[in-house]
Structure 1
Amino acid sequence: MNEIALVFGLMAAVAALATAASRLRIPYPVLLVLGGLALAFVPGLPRVALKPDVIFLLFLPPLLFAGAYGASWRDLRDNARAIGMLAIGLVLVTTVAVAVVAHLVAGLPWAAAFVLGAVVSPTDAIAATTIAQRLGVPSRIVTVLEGESLVNDATGIVAYRIAVGVAAGTVAFSPLAAGVQVLVGAVGGLLVGVVSGWLTIRVLRALDDAPVEAVVTLLAPFLAYVTAEQGPGFVWHGFLGLPGEPYFSGVLAAVVAGLYVGRNIPLAMSSASRLKLNALWDVLTFVLNGLAFILIGLQLPAITAGLGRYTPANLMLSATVVCLTVLLIRVLWVILASYVPHALFRGPRDLDPYPPLRNVAVVSWAGMRGVVSLAAALALPLTTGAGETFPGRDLILFLTFSVILATLVVQGLSLPLIIRRLGLTADGLAEREELSARVEAAQAALTRLGELESEVWVRAETAGRVREMYNNRRTRFLAQSQTPGPEADDEGRAWTVRALDYQRLIGELVQAQRAALLRMRDDNHISDEAFRRVQRDLDLEEAQLGG
């Protein structure tokens, strides 16, 4: 009962802190971590232990799946080079750089130092994009940051598994074996993700029940993740009886499954089911992200408990140097990866023009770390294969927490200022494409109407009213695509004003209907069921005004 009450208490804290962050115009991940830190020192509150299995199994699959589900396959494909340079190249470079610094400054053994490097190398999937989307930056920046955060967890976890195996003495490091493990993990995760996504779509096509369909989509990320993580070992040992421990990337499987389902779900679910599903996933991802960030802050007492043999000066020096290394390596890598290939080779120049320096600056400073790094550090074994204490485990935990806190607070609070100072604004690409799609859809409806007019069941009067409605809709969306200014003609500006007036008028009428509906319910003229049915239609009508 106490654990249930604690979960609800944390959810209430998430809601309160997220609301405060919105009013203070602070990125909510930053305030949630700081709020968790404050709660950790409140006397009488129970200590909350963050179990790595909970993060890797309960939090990570649905968050990655949801991020991939909402991502644009076309945009990810078009920015594959930039995403790969960050999600693979930068992760490996950061792992090596942090390992060198941790060995030389913090005194960690080489194997443990590489564990730390792998732990802090992947960025968080939500912190940077939350800031970028809220402030409105060019869509390509958001795409690159989203793509990086979706893929770099897989790279980091593979590097982490190899480093932990070497540090624990359970495997001997071999560049060839490591390369094979990375390749097998990536290909296996990709295949499991595609199969899981395909199965999910097949099941959804056979269903016609919104609640059941929602449950199926909730199970999809766990199906992909658990199958990839546990399936190969089960088959390898249980059925074949072979030695070794094959590994498929569960992270990559969840991401690929999300991409597959997001791409194919329009033909697998009804419109009513999709509306309910999108609302469900919005709430779920917010709650999981909020709990993850607040749990980070709550771990400080447990992390500092094992640091008695280290002096405060050594801890501060090690944390400062490691944090600076993480920050500077990203800045240098992003700048070099953005411009050096273009300067040396013609291919990158032909495929991708030189990115603006302002965009590069934002991406280079958007490297916040999050709960995956902390969970990986907490998941370190207590002892090695020989029964000895795992080298530097307490220090790795502390340095990981320091990197998470420093990147979230320093970069999270300064990134909005940098974006404003650089004068970056949204390029409006998504909005223009949306309006283009709406115009094309309205035109398709008019074309189909012309084909159906000769049918016996289509009345001329009805067809005329429908044609007028879709003509007005098409004209309105065309008008919204016109930007008032010197480049827009008088007719375009006039239609823009008309479109805004139309939205305002319909909004006023919807409010009048809602007020009348409330009076009828309060005066007991209609039942609550009738009230909710009409209210739903009014809500949908009002929601359409935003499109």
Structure 2
Amino acid sequence: MNAETLLLLCLGAVAIIAGVRWLGERTGLPAAALLPVIGIAYALLPGPNIPLDPHIVLTFVLPPLLYSAALDSSLLAIRANLRIVIGLSVLLVFATALLIGAGFALFVTGATLAAGVAVGAAVAPPDPVAALAVGRKVGLPPRLVTIIQGEGLLNDATALTLLNVAVAAAVGGAYSTPLAAGLFVFAAVGGTAVGLGVAYLLRLLRPVARDPLLANAISLATPFVAYLIGEELHVSGVLAVVVAGLVVGHDAPRSTTGAGRLQTGAVWRLADFLLEGIVFLLIGQQLPTVVRGLQHYAMSTIVTAVAISVGVTLLLRPVWLILTQAAHLLLRREDEGLSGREITALSWAGTRGVISLAAVFTIPLTTDAGAPFPDRDLLLFCTFVVVLVTLVGQGLTFAPLVRALGLKANEVDEARQRNEARAAAVQAALDRLDELEREEPDEAPVVAQLRGKLQGRLRRYQHRLDVLSAAESDEVPTSQRYESALRVQKIAIEAQREELLRWRDAGNLPDEGLRRLERELDHEERILPERP
């Protein structure tokens, strides 16, 4: 494939991703479910196709996606739900892989336990992109969002470690569950240490990374540095990326400037948008590759293997959640358990993605003895079917399920919490101004002017809190006066932009000055609430 063809394919992919996002915004259909279908349709057409290189995905795609997700996650919230997160991201992954492995060994003709565990490890870790995109849009409660995020951040390390053990056993030895557990502990502890070390190094660089461009460059490089160090030390590079992202995200309010956070956030949103879109397209395009090697398998063998893979993937998750919740009630643990509606929603939030395909594509073609890897083509097909069924089936039905369950974040409580924090922050500023006036009497006129603005803002927040406290439903109440104020503010900002353009076009304002003044208006507009 020459450079021009590759460029055309990339431009076409970007156009499709943008078009699907536009369609999704208007129909409510998740892009993560639509893009693989489009990828399959393209794969069936004549013309060039892009094969999935697992090493490129695991080295260049997985680290930035995991790091960005970790930056947007809450270290404190994950810690508060650590029991559930660990159960889903570690224990459930092991259980899924072992049960699929046992099913292959018992019911699939000629299959080995190690080969079955390999495909089980590949399909075990959910990719939460689709579920979170839908969940946030329909207002999924923050606790469920945290659990899905935490599971998605940590389960890849478990699955990839278990996959490596299973592949090693299939290639040259016997599978051992204690060995798999021991290697996982070593990889997890080592990966955590590497992630903490990278985060500490970034903390040391804080004084020299105040410039937004420099901070942004360091942020983009961080996931690759953490991943490569982890892999070089033969520990979990994936976990190193996640831990570094969680710690850096937790420290970001203290360690970065406002301009740096705005710029870095915008860059990571764009990177997520393009990378996620491309990998979902790539999933569909792998259909010819995974189907090509099935000719020498009996249809009964294919059906049995697919049924075990899909069945265990879909059924074990709700059973696991129910059993762990029953154990929680039996032990009377202090942390809050899950309700029946929450268990149902989490059971259907297990969409698989490109990590599963990339993982299974790392299975070698041959064993140490030079023989073909046992049932590799069958393992690829089973993984592809699981990814497709969960992405399309669960991705398209997750939003209706959440709405039917009545699971919705309490918008009034969230708005009240935000306004209480705003009021507390303004009160802290007023207290500091009082101290400053006593320490520096010469600044009294400036202090008095700013105090008046802050007191007016505090009165607005307190009035808003009164309105929220009187709300009778879970939806945030609005007032005609408030909506009119927003509309007038936006009209005024737009009028200023038009006048600045007239100055520029008349030659009275250079483009550099226009861009600086536009940034001021952009920041002013950015803090206003969005309205449809």
Range into which the TM-score falls when normalised by the shorter chain: over 0.9
What's the counterpart of residue 150 of structure 1? 153
The unaligned stretches of length 5 or more in structure 2 are none
Determine the C-alpha separation between the residues in 2 that align with 1:485 and 1:257.
39
CA 1:482–1:288 in 2, change beyond 3 Å: closer, same or farther?
A: farther
**1:162 aligned onto 2:175:** no
What's the counterpart of residue 129 of structure 2? 126
Determine the C-alpha separation between the residues in 1 that align with 2:121 and 2:178.
18
**1:439 aligned onto 2:441:** no
**1:4 aligned onto 2:7:** yes
The within-5 A match list for 1:101-500 is: 101-107=103-109, 108-169=111-172, 171-230=173-232, 232=233, 247-312=234-299, 314-338=301-325, 340-346=326-332, 348=333, 350-352=334-336, 354-428=337-411, 430-454=414-438, 455-460=440-445, 462-483=446-467, 499-500=482-483
Determine the C-alpha separation between the residues in 2 that align with 1:329 and 1:443.
51
**1:81 aligned onto 2:83:** yes
CA 1:203–1:125 in 2, change beyond 3 Å: closer, same or farther?
A: farther
Q: Deviations over 1:60-101 (max 9, x none)?
A: 111111111111111001000111111112111111222233
What's the counterpart of residue 17 of structure 1? 20
Determine the C-alpha separation between the residues in 2 that align with 1:152 and 1:446.
46
Q: Secondary structure at the match of 1:161?
A: helix
Determine the C-alpha separation between the residues in 2 that align with 1:422 and 1:179.
37
CA 1:174–1:109 in 2, change beyond 3 Å: closer, same or farther?
A: closer
Q: Deviations over 1:303-347 (max 9, x none)?
A: 111111124564345324421221011111112212x1233212x
Task: Please say if residues 416 and 468 of structure 2, whose CA atoms lie closer than 8 Å, have aligned partners that are also in contact.
Answer: no
Task: Please say if residues 419 and 464 of structure 2, whose CA atoms lie closer than 8 Å, have aligned partners that are also in contact.
Answer: yes
The unaligned stretches of length 5 or more in structure 1 are 233-246
CA 1:38–1:482 in 2, change beyond 3 Å: closer, same or farther?
A: farther
What's the counterpart of residue 518 of structure 2? 535
Task: Please say if residues 192 and 228 of structure 1, whose CA atoms lie closer than 8 Å, have aligned partners that are also in contact.
Answer: yes
Determine the C-alpha separation between the residues in 1 that align with 2:258 and 2:317.
42
Letter of the 1:64 counterpart? L
* TM-score, normalised relative to structure 1: 0.90
For these two proteins, the number of residue pairs brought into alignment is 521
**1:29 aligned onto 2:32:** yes
Moved more, 92-101 or 298-307: 92-101
How far 1:456 moved relative to its partner? 4.2
Letter of the 2:312 counterpart? T
Q: Deviations over 1:463-494 (max 9, x none)?
A: 33311211122222333344558557xxx989
Task: Please say if residues 66 and 258 of structure 1, whose CA atoms lie closer than 8 Å, have aligned partners that are also in contact.
Answer: yes
Task: Please say if residues 85 and 147 of structure 2, whose CA atoms lie closer than 8 Å, have aligned partners that are also in contact.
Answer: yes
Letter of the 1:480 counterpart? R
How far 1:210 moved relative to its partner? 1.9
Letter of the 1:52 counterpart? P
Determine the C-alpha separation between the residues in 2 that align with 1:82 and 1:250.
23
Task: Please say if residues 114 and 174 of structure 2, whose CA atoms lie closer than 8 Å, have aligned partners that are also in contact.
Answer: no
Moved more, 98-107 or 184-193: 98-107
Output the aligned Cα RMSD: 2.1
What's the counterpart of residue 98 of structure 2? 96
Q: Secondary structure at the match of 1:458?
A: helix
Determine the C-alpha separation between the residues in 2 that align with 1:474 and 1:396.
61
How far 1:180 moved relative to its partner? 2.2
What's the counterpart of residue 501 of structure 2? 518
Determine the C-alpha separation between the residues in 1 that align with 2:324 and 2:254.
39
What's the counterpart of residue 63 of structure 2? 61
Determine the C-alpha separation between the residues in 2 that align with 1:342 and 1:177.
29
Task: Please say if residues 36 and 281 of structure 2, whose CA atoms lie closer than 8 Å, have aligned partners that are also in contact.
Answer: yes
What's the counterpart of residue 48 of structure 1? 50
Q: Deviations over 1:341-392 (max 9, x none)?
A: 233212x1x222x422111110011100001100011111000111110000
Determine the C-alpha separation between the residues in 1 that align with 2:252 and 2:406.
38
How far 1:538 moved relative to its partner? 0.7
CA 1:256–1:508 in 2, change beyond 3 Å: closer, same or farther?
A: same
Determine the C-alpha separation between the residues in 2 that align with 1:255 and 1:188.
13
Q: Secondary structure at the match of 1:453?
A: helix
How far 1:281 moved relative to its partner? 0.8
Q: Secondary structure at the match of 2:169?
A: helix
Determine the C-alpha separation between the residues in 2 that align with 1:430 and 1:153.
31
Q: Secondary structure at the match of 2:378?
A: helix
How far 1:149 moved relative to its partner? 0.5
What's the counterpart of residue 241 of structure 1? none
Letter of the 2:329 counterpart? A
Task: Please say if residues 17 and 35 of structure 1, whose CA atoms lie closer than 8 Å, have aligned partners that are also in contact.
Answer: no
Task: Please say if residues 18 and 31 of structure 1, whose CA atoms lie closer than 8 Å, have aligned partners that are also in contact.
Answer: no
Q: Deviations over 1:130-164 (max 9, x none)?
A: 11111101110100000000011111111111111
How far 1:40 moved relative to its partner? 1.0
Letter of the 2:317 counterpart? R
Q: Secondary structure at the match of 1:351?
A: coil
Determine the C-alpha separation between the residues in 1 that align with 2:132 and 2:117.
28
Task: Please say if residues 317 and 347 of structure 2, whose CA atoms lie closer than 8 Å, have aligned partners that are also in contact.
Answer: yes
Moved more, 388-397 or 324-333: 324-333
Task: Please say if residues 75 and 247 of structure 2, whose CA atoms lie closer than 8 Å, have aligned partners that are also in contact.
Answer: no
Q: Secondary structure at the match of 2:366?
A: coil
